Structure 1
Amino acid sequence: METVLDALKAMGKASSREIAARMAIEPRDALEMLKEQQETGTVTFLNGYWSLSGIAKAVKRETPKQEAPKESTVKIGEPQMLETIREHGPQTAEDLATLLGITSRKVTSTLAMATGKGRLSRVKRDGKYWYCLPDTDAAPESVHEPAPDTYNASTTDIASAATSDNAESAPAVVVEEPTVTTDKPEVTEELSSADTASDETESVSDTPPAYAQPAAHTPDVMELPSPRVVAKNLRRHKAQLARLQKAHGAVKAVRRYGLQVTPPPKEIVREIRRLTAIVEAGKKLGGAVSMAKKYLARINRYEN
């Protein structure tokens, strides 16, 4: 089998690609063999070409016209360098020059535009600059294509939902405006909810909360409601507040059709505000009661 030295004896001087093509091996394997021979001093590397150490000058005198074909130097450009990096992984400018049989200066100048436009990355590792392909170049379309699809899908869903809502609400408006009748099931349900809202407002206004009523004060004993009672009343008033808010929404929906409903929305809003204030006061009272219970427990512990 022909060795690297035999190939160089026959070729005089050649690049690693030419030697690999002559020996029918990979360029990287040929490069490793050449570097091993270079460590022993058998071969030398100069201006992108390998030659035997003792006969480099003699070869130049004997065969001054033996140069690398111009076609190979002309054809080596950015695509060939990117393909080499894709095959062999990250490479330095010197490694690329050795693999492609050109100078490192040409590698740097050729890849400058690719690095500036993001087609190639230049990373510094161990004091050397390595050229490697960016991670996002593998699948650029998969990153950008789903976004418009999902956006179109969401917009079509929203549009279809809006048209369906308009289609459901449009007939009710057309029927109710000229006739102003209350025999439709939707209006009757809303009126009944409004009536229940008025009943709830009356019941709420008649029955003040338990923790809002003034407790009988005694000179020596301070009575506090238990946290369970406070939480129970707080839940009850929260439920009443939620029902009033629903009733307010129903009254507003009925008034869109020009119907008059009692109680008016202003009274419901006033009652909602009052209940909201009661709920906030109940929350504060619950915190104060729990804190007072803790302090009383500490006082009793110290007294005992």
Structure 2
Amino acid sequence: METILEVLKKMEKATAREMAARMKIDAPDALAMLRDHEDRGEVNQVNGYWQLTGRASKKPANAVPKKTKPPASKINEAVLVKLLHEHGAMTSEQLAKLADTTVRTVASTLAMPVNKGRIVREKRGNVFHFNVVSKTALGASKLPESASKPAIPVTETPKTASIPEKTETPAPQSSTAFVDTIPQLVSTNGQPAALTPKIIAGEIRKTKSRLVQLEKLRVTVRTQTRLQRSLGL
């Protein structure tokens, strides 16, 4: 990732907010970095815009030289992480004291790992404390969503075993006896009527229609019986 000096060199001059947007960090963190480089004499601010000192306007010859502070010790993320491992959660002031550097240097160094989630920043009262992210929490955050949720066992509702109905096979009948069982085919005097294919076809259609109605009726009766059993009736 580009440093703030590299970004400023490409942009020539920009505000802290513009550089923060380009680096995808918070504006206060970018401002802290710029202040740190300003203390080192690497950048300066003119009319609200930051620029490298090489592009800054020349000072008059009689200008009083600005007193510069002694350069702070250079630190990096690894140094601060080591201190946090050794001493636990600390404020930026405490880290700066242990690292023998300035608070601005600590803030600019912590900006990137905080945004990346490698270091946690939490507010306690009115002061921010920094701490390293444990490996357990870091590993848990990378688990797939399906692994983090316990599987919900699926319970099946026990089904009532259906008892097959006993069907009796009717004994074979003779043609005359079969005809006698159909009232429509018997004449008024009790003798079989004169049968024709047309009459028989008509009776077949009626019988099929009646059979369909009986099948539907049987399904309805079965459903009502099962419902009564489930309700304990």
TM-score normalised to the size of structure 1? 0.28
Name the one with the larger helix percent: 1
- Using the size of structure 2 for normalisation, the TM-score is 0.35
